[in-house]
Amino acid sequence: MELAYDRRGSGSPLVLMHGIGHHRQGWQPVLELLAERHDVIAVDFPGFGESPPLPAGLPYTTETLGTAVEEFWTWLGVKDPHVAGNSLGGYIALDMASRGVVCTAAALSPAGFWSRTEHLYARTVLRLLRTTAEATRGQGAAALVSSKAGKAVALGLLMAKPSRVPADAMLAAVEALRGCVGFDATLDACAWMGPPPPPKVPITIAWGEHDRLLPRRQAVRAARWSQERVMLLSGCGHLPMSDDPALVARVILDSSRD
C-alpha cells in the first residue's frame, strides 16, 4: 500500500519509523543531518499521520505495520535499506533485523523490553495522552502549545526539553495523536509484547537518559537481549530526535555505515 512519506538526500537508503500515536514529522529535526549521507525516507505507518488505514479486515499489529513499510519501500524501488525507529518503530526496526530484511537497524527507546508493571504503566500513559489530545481542540490546543508551561504539560512525559519544540510542530503532533485511526487497535494488539528474536544483522540500541515513558532501566534488558552495549542519550527523553538532534543523527549515522 502507498504510505505518506518525506524523502531527502542521496546515498544508501535509510527508512525512519515513528512510535505509536506519532507521525513522520517527528523525525524532522534530524532529517537534513541524515540526508547528508543517506537517501532518507521517513514514513507514516498505516492509520497514522497522513497514511491511509490498513485495508478492512487486516489487524493492526507490529507484523502488519512492518510488512506495510517493507512493501512500500519495495514499491519505491528500495532494497535492503538501513532502518531506524523510535518506540514502537524501534521494536519494528529490531524485528526487521531479526528477520534479516534490512542492512542495519537503529532503535531509540524501543518497545518490548518492559516488565509487566512497566508495560501497564506505558499503556496507561499513552491512553491518557490520547484522551488529552482528543479533548484539546482549536483555540484550546493552540493555547496549550504556545506557553512553556503548556508544552511541559503536553510533552513533559515524552521529552526532556519540550520548550525547544516549536509551537506549530507541537500542535501538529497533538493533531496527529488525536487523528490516528490505528492508535487503539495497535495499542490493543500490544497487550503483551516481548523482544523479537535475536538479530541477524548489525543493530544499535540507544535510550534516552530521562525517558519517562519507557524508563532507562529497560535498556539493561535490551543489552542482555542483544549482547551489545546500549547507549544512553544524555539529556534526552523518549523522543530524543527533538531533545538533541545532533546526537541522535550521529548515533544513526554511526550505526548505518556501509
Does the pLDDT at position 99 exceed 90? yes
C-alpha cell at 68: 506495510
pLDDT of 136 reads: 77
Does the pLDDT at position 174 exceed 90? no
Is residue 180 within 8 Å of 49, Cβ to Cβ? yes
pLDDT of 144 reads: 63
Is residue 241 within 8 Å of 248, Cβ to Cβ? yes
Does the pLDDT at position 153 exceed 70? no
Q: Read off the pLDDT of residues 226-255 as tens digits, 9 standing for 90 and up.
A: 998 899 999 999 999 999 999 999 999 999
The CATH number of the domain holding residue 132 is 3.40.50.1820
Greater pLDDT, 170 or 114: 114
Which of 245, 173, 149, 244 lies closest to 20, judged by CA? Answer: 173
Is residue 24 within 8 Å of 34, Cβ to Cβ? no
pLDDT of 151 reads: 63
**Confidence tier at 133 by pLDDT (50, 70, 90):** confident
> Which whole number is the average pLDDT over 13-17?
98
Q: How far apart are CA 69 and CA 51, in angstroms?
A: 11
> Which whole number is the average pLDDT over 137-153?
63
Kindly report the average pLDDT of the chain as a whole number.
92
Number of domains in the chain: 1
**Confidence tier at 256 by pLDDT (50, 70, 90):** very high
Q: How far apart are CA 172 and CA 237, in angstroms?
A: 19
Q: Read off the pLDDT of residues 184-212 as tens digits, 9 standing for 90 and up.
A: 999 998 878 889 999 999 999 999 999 99
99-137 per-residue burial string, b: 16 or more CB within 10 A, e: under 16:
eebbbbbbbbbbbbbbeeebbebbbebbeebbeebeebe
Residue 109, domain extent: 5-255
